Structure 1
Amino acid sequence: MTPAPSPGDVLPSLTVPITRTLIVAGAIASRDYQDVHHDAEAARAKGAPDIFMNILTTNGLVGRYITDRLGPGAVLRKVAIRLGVPNYPGDTLLLTGTINSICADERHAEDVDRLSEDALRLLAEVAVVGTNSLGRHVTGTVVVALPTAQPPLRESP
């Protein structure tokens, strides 16, 4: 185990191929049946060149990025994102992140006497940016609870 991440640490990036299957499966999984997420003709009729990813799929990819990089003990507490340019099939999303801050998780302060030191948690705020060939697809911050002892930052599997 290595020490918890520090402010300024850059997380390893994650590259996600944007496929029709990912876009449609994400829309179905999140019960977003808007035609622009599964019907290319309908998307074109509404001014888009093709189907495009919904915000809930992007939100899930951001969450996956953080938990993949910070390890199995990481627990998402807050995800706040803003979409920019769309994700279309055939493009690639590159997710990057930087640790903004680390602080003690005050909600667990009353449990300190009952918990072992390994169970104490820290809160990390991570700035996340996702880009594709058109520009910035997503920007935001994620607050994640971390155990005080962390595995090393992880690369893509």
Structure 2
Amino acid sequence: MRAGDRLPPLEIPVTRTLIVAGAIASRDYQDVHHDPELARQKGTPDIFMNILTTNGLVGRYVTDHFGPTAVLRKVSIRLGAPNHPGDTMVLTGSVEATDGGTAVVRVTGTNGLGTHVTGTVTVTLPAEEATP
């Protein structure tokens, strides 16, 4: 793991089930995450993914790359364009900095509307895995 290393892109189909399941799993019962009609009444074309689901997917993206022993130390994200059913979110990332077994990874997620999420993830690997 070196500064400048790129993570391979990950395509995530944004399904209605993913949006609703993520909201339920995170106990976010806001109607805009499960009721299309109420979401439309509030000015959005359909239900949309909550930030906690996005946060989990960003974490998964990084740990899928670095492996099961990777430990997320910090996840800091900012949302942009919403993820609606039927779209695809594509996560990309690059290692910004390393310090021993710790790396800071910049992550971006885009969809058909634009940039859904940007942020950084600080991840630590056990010493024997951190060296190239």
TM-score (norm 2): 0.96
Partner residue, 1:32: 28
Partner residue, 1:118: none
Specify the structure having the higher radius of gyration (Cα). 1
Residues paired across the two proteins, number: 130
Give structure 2 stretches of 5+ with no counterpart: none
Corresponding letter in the other structure for 2:122: V
Post-superposition shift, 1:80? 0.1
Post-superposition shift, 1:150? 3.2
Does 1:68 find its partner at 2:64? Answer: yes
Does 1:143 find its partner at 2:122? Answer: yes
Partner residue, 1:107: none
Post-superposition shift, 1:146? 1.1
Post-superposition shift, 1:149? 3.5
Per-residue CA distance 1:35-59 (angstroms, 9 max, x = gap) = 0000000000000000000000000
Choose the corresponding residue for 1:100, options 90, 96, 101.
Answer: 96
The residue correspondences of 1:10-29 to structure 2 (distance < 5 A) are 10-29=6-25
Structure with the larger RCO, 1 or 2 (CA within 8 Å, 6+ apart): 1
Q: Secondary structure at the match of 2:86?
A: coil
Post-superposition shift, 1:72? 1.2
Choose the corresponding residue for 1:45, options 41, 45, 49.
Answer: 41
Corresponding letter in the other structure for 1:141: T
Per-residue CA distance 1:75-120 (angstroms, 9 max, x = gap) = 000000000000000000000000001103xxxxxxxxxxxxxxxx
Corresponding letter in the other structure for 1:129: T
Post-superposition shift, 1:8? 0.1
Contact 1:71 1:150 survives alignment (8 Å): no
Post-superposition shift, 1:147? 2.0
Does 1:90 find its partner at 2:97? Answer: no
- RMSD (Å), alpha carbons: 1.0
TM-score (norm 1): 0.81
Give structure 1 stretches of 5+ with no counterpart: 105-121, 152-157
